[in-house]
Every structure is written in C-alpha cells, then in structure tokens.
Amino acid sequence: MDNIKNTGRPSLRPSTRRLIQLYSALLHNAHLKGFIDGEIYQGKAKYACVPGFNCYSCPGAVGACPLGSIQNALASTGHRAGWYVMGIIMLFGVVLGRTICGWLCPLGLIQELLHKIPTYKLKKSRITRALSWLKYVLLAVFVVAIPLWYGLRHDIPVPGFCKYICPAGTFEGAIGLLSNPNNTGLFGMLGILFTRKFTIMLIIGLACVFCYRSFCRFICPLGAIYGLFNRFCLVGVRVDEDRCNHCGACVRNCGMDVRHVGDHECIHCARCMDSCAQKAISLKAGKAVLKAPAATLNEGEQTKRKKNGRIAWGVALAVLCFALAWFNFLDPAVRAEKGAGMAPPQAAVTAEEVPVGFEVGQRLQDFTLECLDGSEFRLADTRGKPVFLNLWATYCTPCVQELPHFNALYKEHEGDIAMLAVHSSIVTDDPADFLTDKGWEIPFALDTDNDTLWAIVNGSSTLPQTIVLDRNGVVIYNQKGSVTPEALAALYEQAAGAGAAPAEQSAAAEEAESVYSVIVNDEAGKPVPGVTVQFCSDTECLTGVTGANGTACFEREAGAYTVHLLKVPAGYAADDTEYNAPAQPGTVTLVLGAEESPAADEDSAVIDVPKLGLHYERPEKYENLKGTLMPGGGFPGPGLLRLEWEYYAVAPDRIEDYDAYGEAYLDALEQDEDPPEAPDPSWMSGREQACLFAIFGINGGRGEDELRALLREYNAPFDDNLTTLEKICTDGDTSFYLGQYSRVAERMDEYREVMGDFFPEFEDLYKDKETFLSAFTLRRPMWPAGLEIGDTLSFETTDLDGNPVSSAELFAESKVTMINLWGTWCGPCRNELPELGRMAGEFEAQGVQVIGICNDAFEAENAELAKSLLQDAGAEYLCLVGSEDLDDYFSVTAFPTTFFVDSEGRLLLEPVVGANVDYYPQAMAEALAAVE
C-alpha cells in the first residue's frame, strides 16, 4: 500500500514546463539593469531575434522581437530583402513551430498566470474556434499590408501591429519604461495612441482571465506564423497511432481551439498527455523523446531521464548566470551606458568659463565621427557656424518623416550651417542602403560601438532627438521628439545669433568679421522680431528681417550707410524711418513705440476693419467732387482674402451718399452682416466704374502660383482678367499681393468716353500705385478679435445625441484638439468634411483629436442633418451642438473657423478662418511642436 498521504490539495511545486517558461522569460529579459536605470539595452545582441513574443523596447530585453523584425523588414522592402529575418523565422518554425508558444514565450506565461485568477471561465466553442482565424487577418493587415504600403508607397517604416495593437509593447515597453522615475519626461510625449493601446492591453488582459490564452488564440500574428510550421516542425507533441483509440479526450481537454493534436492551433504544451488514458502522446525532438507518460518508461529509462534532466538544468543555469553577468556587467555596451541625467564624460569648465555638458547653456564636448560617405565630421571644426545634430534610426517612423526638413534647412543655408544625422550603433537596416535613393545632402554617420555621441549629448532609446549649438558651440536646444520646419527655421535663426543677448551677439560679430548689426527693441527693451530693415549705401541696398533676438546683421566694409525701416509688425510704430549707421562696423539700436489707435470721432478719415486685417486712411487726393473710391471684397476661397478698390464717377450732389455707402460696406464686413445696397446707379455720371487695384491675402505662406490656382478654382472671372500679381508685403505666414486687371488697361478708351472729365483723375490714380499703397496697413487677415494665443477655452454643451460634454474633460484626452466650427448651411464647411475625417484618423496616432461644433445643430432637424453629412463624408469624429452664444464666445467672424488647443484648453495658434484643408496638417504639426 502507498505510504504517501493524499491531502486532496494540488501540489505547489511548479511543473517542468512552468520552470522552463520562467527561465525563458528571464533569459529573454536578462538586462535587469534596464529596469533600474530605465534604459533599453542596445548592445549587439539586439541584432538577433529571440524566438518568443517579447518587446524590443522592454528595459530588460536582450534581443529583437521576431514580429517587429518582420514588420521592419517588410517596410524596408524597397531598399533590401529581409533575408535574415525571414530565414530566422523559418528556422524557428521548422525546429520548434508553436512549441515556442507553449514553452518559451514570455507573453504566453503572463496569459496563463492571469488565467489562474479564480473566476468563471469561458469554455471553448464554435465561436472561439471561428475567432481563432482572426489572428491570420491581423497578420495579413497589420504585419504585412501596412508596413509594405508605407514602406513602398511612402518610404517610411510603420510597424502596424506594434504601433496600433501590441499589448506586449504596451506592458513590457511603454509601462516598463514609464514606471522608472528616470523617465518622467516621457509622459509629456504620450497621446491618444498610447491611451488606445493601453485600453487594448487591459481588454486583452481581462479576456485572458476568463478565457485561456485569449491573445494566443485570437490575436497573436507570431503564433499564426509558427502555426504554419506545426505539421513538420522538429520538436512537438506526437501521437502513437498504434496506441491511440481516437477517444477525443486530448482535444476535449485542450484549452486551445485544436481539431487534433499537433494542428496549427496546437502549442505543443504536452498537457494532453495527462488526458490520454492510452498513454499515446509524447513530446519529441525528431525520434528523441523529451517527455513521455511515466507509465511508458521502465525504471532504467526513468533514472537515465532524471540524470539527463539534472545535467540539462545545470547547463541551463550556467547559461543563465553567464547571460545575467554579461548583459548587466560585462557587455561593452552596458559598461558604456550612463543613466539619464548623468553628466557626459570629461565634464569640465573651459577657458571661457562655459561648462562642458549637454544642457542648454553648456558647451558640447568635442567629438569626431566618420561619415558614411568617408568624410570626417569634427565638432571643433564647426566653430562659427550653427550646428544641428539629429539622432535617428531607420526603424523610427518620426525620424524618417522629419529628415527631409533637416535636408531642406541644410540646403537653404549651405555654407553657413553644420549638420550631422547620427544613427545609433544598433542597426536593423543598413543606413547606407536605406539612404541610397533619398537624395539627401546631409552628412550621415554611424555612432561608434560604444555610442560615444549618444553619451555626449545624453541620448537615449527615445528617438528622434535634436541638439542645436550656436556659433560658439553652446547648446541652445536638446530635446527628444519631432521638430517642424518652422521650429527648425526658428532654431537656426537663434543659433545664428551666436549668443543670448543681442548686444553680446553684436560684439562677437564685430570681433569676428565686418558686420553691422541693427538691433530693434521696444520701449521696454525687449527685442522686436519681424521688422523689415534696409541697409543702404549710395549704390545698393540690402534687405533683412530681424530675428527672434530682434537683430538683423549685414556684412559690409566700413563706410557711410543709412538704415531704413520698411515694415514694422502690427502694434508698433517708429518715430522715424531713416537712421544713420556708424562709420565703422558696429551696432545700430532702434526703439519702436506703441502704435497709436486711430481716432474714433465721426470726422476721422481712418477706417479699421479687424476682420479683414485692414487699416485704411483715405488720402486727400482721393477725396474730390468728381468721383469716389469704393471698397469691395470678401473670402472667395480657403485661406484667401480679396479686397477690391474701385473708382466711381459720381454726380457732385451724390458724393456724400457714396462716401457713406463705402463706410457702411466696410462696417457690414466687420460685423459679418450682409453689405448694404449700393446707391441708385442713375446717380452716376456714367454707366461704368473701374477697378483701380485688388489686394489679395493668402494664408500659409503660399506663393503666386497657389494664389492663382485658388482664384481659378473659387473666383474664375477675376483670374481670367488678372494680368499682374506683385507681392507687396508679408505678415506672419500671410502673403499680400497687388493685382492688376486686364479689363482696366484694355478698356481705357471706353472709360475715357464714359467718365469724360473724370477720366484724367482716374488715370492718375491708376498709375500712382505708391500713393495708393501708402494708404494701407495690411495685417494678417481672418483673425477673430477677442481671443489671444494662450487664452484658455472653456465651455459646456452637448453632442448631437444630447449627451452633455465638458470641454475640460474633452481636451484632457489628447495633446492637441482641433476644434472646427461649421454649419450645415455652409458649403465650404461641408466640402471639407471628408478631408477632416481623413486627417482625424491620420493624426490620432500623434495625439491630435478632431472635434466639430455645428453652430445650427441646436435645432433637432439640423442635428440630424449634421449626423447625415458627417456619416456620408466618413467624418467619424465627435461633433458638438453649437449656438449663437458659442459663436460669440469663439469670436467667430466666418465659417468654418478652426482652433487648436492643448490638453488644458489653451489656444496654441491663431485660428484658421475659412476652409483651409491644405494648411491644417501644418497647423497640427505646429500645435504638436508647441506642446512638446
């Protein structure tokens, strides 16, 4: 009789499979130091794929995830074939198949531990069996199609499954890094994409509690790949057909959706051995038996197996100890690591008393790197130039997307800028091959084996990272995350000044070269950017614009020069427009006062129309008893303003009526009301009026070709007659053009007949462009009055279904919220809905949410119409109910109007008035840059 007492309780001793799973999870993540310092291991072992599903970005991961490697290989198909990745996956598949899932995968272990939580358990059924095919759909779409599409069509790496779904990436990578106090700065980079992936992770984790290995069974694309090799893999469960009586107990008691032992759903866990009464199932490697029912082995075989097991475990533990020692202490990559916030090597104080370091205000330590083209980049040789360093990687989507911006900046300032894009020593795609057909002129380099530059600039595994040095080698910018073209241009402008204070910059410039510096300050001593300055000798003039430091520099020899202020920003006024420069290279400091507000009395000839960005003072020569100047205009297209000024021949006794009509017309535009009816044409001396000039304002910094295209699309009759477009000024990112119409020149003879004695005056005005333009101050149009950048927006309303919505809660969900105010009655609003819907999906991954506010949806029938319009347009974003009160709150002057706010509701950019789908992506990027 057996002397062992049966207590009826399960043994607490872990099974051999559980021990192997724990061992494998630890071996996959042997870089335990990563959990302490919050850094990802970047040694050479990361070139190799581990067999199990384990995130590359986990702080402990010592190898690459095979699924991520597949996606990166497919994304790089346009440059090279991913033979290594395909080969290693086939090797894993042929040797182990889904035995990896059952014995080696860390995520499989996590799922089984979650399933041990005591709750009601869902049993497998036809539904779960059907759902098991979902992972093949995910494999085709997210692992194959998305990376191939973006790689071949757009030449950027987008690992679809990793980016949008992967729970291992969220749990091991994101949470593993974010949980470390050294990485608190990463929280600011989180957005809606992380929120969605975190939600997906929680849902999958909860599903695993109730349903055995839910991720493996229904979602895992890697398991789907390994399952294709199950029929002929070397290691796996095998059925002895001579013993099997086909009772089906193995299938009934299996937690997976298998139809028979060893099919594509089988993970070869060998638990079915315990269910087989015939002892017909065993785990084999070829003909060698790895695990078999004890009853099938004699005493000698059992003794031999135990002895071999002890030897195998001894070797395994030795391997594990070596791996832990290597990946935490001995690996050169680990020994070269430095924790976040540590000072770079050789920190010191230079002769100029500027400490060496990577933080803003410190001088970056010198380094030398060999470029991919064979040249050498030595930081010490770049003194006197702004320096841009960009840390990037071929597998980093934001890195690849922003490199063209760096290249454009490099070409624009060629000869006066030093730039280097540096790839980490960890390489999945050969950077040289990747860059072959790009045509980028930036010098590229691969960091040293010990990632020397990474250590000098405080680089990390979070990419991209940009470091900018001024002309003296002092750091003025060192940040992780993408940068926009506008941010790069501003950084160049700042770096080119070679110092923080304008006076210091000028002094340094004087010592270095023959430079005249024009410094423009306000009355409080603050620099004024955006002032157009002309530096003239007797024979030529040079034109410049003051930068962020209020300085414009002109390299000239000693001589007699005058400085002219051609244009000052809105809100400023100059006492004079001409100043004498010193005889020797030096500094001219000019002070701008505040612009005086125009008089508001009834007799004033000043007309100020904020909506149109127009300040107009009618000169005396335009007031007479022969005719009068009449305004006209509007918004013919997206981001486009048109102001027309026509000269009417008017009977002397009606001139006052026409003057009053002109002012009433402008007032109606300002108040967003319908313009008044014009006086009876019979009051005119003739049948005709003639257009003097038209002024066009176009947002987004666009040029003449785009202006003509918009006029052609939205205002064809005017474009047909438009013969001349001359750029007259720029305010912000708005360009103003003066247009002339052929209908004036071609009909001069007709006008002469119609206007009679009035014609000579009209002809003088038509030719006198300078006098005409001097009457205007043009500001950026389409800016609603009443809101300023930095103001916090706060409101409460409902969605189209009547559910209450608080703006504070809504804004908190994303880094940036784009608020589009529209109406069902507004044609341009409705036309842009499909594009807004597309952009909402595209930018969601970057932390931007798009919402609409329909200003007439407070009426039930309009709310239903709004739903229908949004659905037909594929615009699936949230839409709220607007009202006149909300319109007034937002200072809406025209529809659509679009605002960009941060997570706390602060206004980030000037609102965009009008349908401007071409500009929205740029605005989104600028808004993201503002919050990052």
Higher pLDDT, 930 or 99: 99
- pLDDT tens digits, residue range 231-288? 889 999 999 888 898 888 899 889 999 999 999 999 999 989 888 888 899 999 988 8
Backbone angles phi, psi at 82, to 5 degrees: -85, 65
Asked if pLDDT for residue 519 goes beyond 60, the answer is: yes
Asked if pLDDT for residue 904 goes beyond 50, the answer is: yes
Asked if pLDDT for residue 515 goes beyond 50, the answer is: yes
Asked if pLDDT for residue 757 goes beyond 90, the answer is: no
Q: What string of DSSP letters covers 238-264?
A: EE-TTT-----HHHHT-SS--SSTTST
Asked if pLDDT for residue 106 goes beyond 90, the answer is: yes
Q: In this structure, are residues 518 and 546 in contact, taking their beta carbons and an 8 Å threshold?
A: yes
Q: What string of DSSP letters covers 336-365?
A: T---TTPPPTT--B-TTS-BBSSSTTSBPP
Asked if pLDDT for residue 761 goes beyond 70, the answer is: no
d(CA 85, CA 26): 23
d(CA 331, CA 30): 12
d(CA 778, CA 452): 52
Can you tell me whether residue 198 is helix, strand or coil?
Answer: helix
Higher pLDDT, 833 or 504: 833
pLDDT at position 610, please? 45
pLDDT at position 351, please? 37
Q: Is the peptide bond before 345 cis (omega within 30 degrees of 0)?
A: no
Asked if pLDDT for residue 652 goes beyond 60, the answer is: no
In total, the chain counts a number of residues equal to 932
Residue 528: band (very low, low, confident or very high) from pLDDT cuts 50, 70, 90:
confident
d(CA 473, CA 467): 11
pLDDT at position 769, please? 60
- pLDDT tens digits, residue range 530-576? 777 778 776 666 766 676 567 777 777 778 888 877 667 766 776 66
Mean pLDDT across the stretch 875-882?
A: 92
Amino acid at 25: A
Residue 94: band (very low, low, confident or very high) from pLDDT cuts 50, 70, 90:
very high
pLDDT at position 599, please? 38
Q: Is the peptide bond before 147 cis (omega within 30 degrees of 0)?
A: no
pLDDT at position 477, please? 81
Both tokens of 631, joined, read 């305004």
pLDDT at position 256, please? 94
Q: In this structure, are residues 274 and 250 in contact, taking their beta carbons and an 8 Å threshold?
A: no
Mean pLDDT across the stretch 182-188?
A: 64
pLDDT at position 475, please? 84
Go through 554-568 and write b for each residue having 16 or more CB atoms within 10 A of its CB, e for each that does not. beeeeeebebebebb
Strands 387-392 and 418-423, sheet pairing:
parallel
Backbone angles phi, psi at 413, to 5 degrees: -115, 30
Asked if pLDDT for residue 336 goes beyond 60, the answer is: no
Both tokens of 505, joined, read 């910059």
How many percent of the chain have pLDDT more than 90? 24
Asked if pLDDT for residue 685 goes beyond 50, the answer is: no
d(CA 476, CA 388): 10
Q: How far is CA 59 from CA 40, 70, 394, 461, in A?
A: 4, 21, 20, 10
Can you tell me whether residue 776 is helix, strand or coil?
Answer: strand
Residue 602: band (very low, low, confident or very high) from pLDDT cuts 50, 70, 90:
very low
Mean pLDDT across the stretch 497-523?
A: 55
Mean pLDDT across the stretch 803-826?
A: 91
Highest averaged pLDDT of the listed ranges 472-481, 719-728, 744-753:
472-481
How many percent of the chain have pLDDT more than 70? 73
Instruction: Choose among 797, 847, 789: nearest CA to 821.
Output: 797
Higher pLDDT, 204 or 309: 204
Locate tokens 């030595």: which residue?
378
Comparing 54-58, 152-156, 324-328, 520-524, the range with the smallest average pLDDT is 152-156
pLDDT at position 654, please? 64
**Axis crossing angle, helix 299-325 with helix 16-28, rounded to the nearest 10:** 20
**Cα distance between the two ends of the chain:** 74
Higher pLDDT, 586 or 841: 841
Residue 178: band (very low, low, confident or very high) from pLDDT cuts 50, 70, 90:
confident
- pLDDT tens digits, residue range 293-324? 876 777 777 788 888 888 989 999 999 999 99
pLDDT at position 922, please? 85
Query: In terms of C-beta density within 10 A (0-12 exposed, 13-18 middle, 19 or more buried), how is residue 305 classed?
Result: middle
Q: What is the CA radius of gyration of the chain?
A: 36
Asked if pLDDT for residue 741 goes beyond 70, the answer is: no
Comparing 101-115, 139-153, 596-610, 815-829, the range with the smallest average pLDDT is 596-610
d(CA 319, CA 776): 81
Asked if pLDDT for residue 660 goes beyond 90, the answer is: no
Residue 345: band (very low, low, confident or very high) from pLDDT cuts 50, 70, 90:
very low
Asked if pLDDT for residue 499 goes beyond 60, the answer is: no
Locate tokens 């962020």: which residue?
548
CB-side neighbour CA atoms (13 Å) of 71: 30
pLDDT at position 344, please? 37
Q: What string of DSSP letters covers 138-159?
A: HIIIIIIIHHHHIIIII-----
Comparing 61-65, 535-539, 740-744, the range with the smallest average pLDDT is 740-744
Higher pLDDT, 12 or 581: 581
pLDDT at position 721, please? 61
- pLDDT tens digits, residue range 378-437? 888 888 889 999 998 887 777 888 888 899 899 888 888 999 999 877 666 678 877 877
Locate tokens 């389409």: which residue?
782
Element (H, E) at 685: strand 684-698
pLDDT at position 454, please? 81
Asked if pLDDT for residue 372 goes beyond 60, the answer is: yes
pLDDT at position 798, please? 93
pLDDT at position 219, please? 95
pLDDT at position 687, please? 40
pLDDT at position 680, please? 60
Higher pLDDT, 425 or 227: 227
Highest averaged pLDDT of the listed ranges 180-189, 207-216, 498-507, 569-578:
207-216
pLDDT at position 417, please? 92
Q: In this structure, are residues 393 and 399 in contact, taking their beta carbons and an 8 Å threshold?
A: yes
Any idea what DSSP says for residue 327?
Answer: I
Q: Per residue, what are the HEC states of 812-874?
A: CCCCEEEEEEECCCCHHHHHHHHHHHHHHHHHHCCCEEEEEEECCCCCHHHHHHHHHHHHHHC
Comparing 573-582, 630-639, 908-917, the range with the smallest average pLDDT is 630-639
Higher pLDDT, 490 or 344: 490
Highest averaged pLDDT of the listed ranges 100-114, 452-466, 484-498, 522-536:
100-114
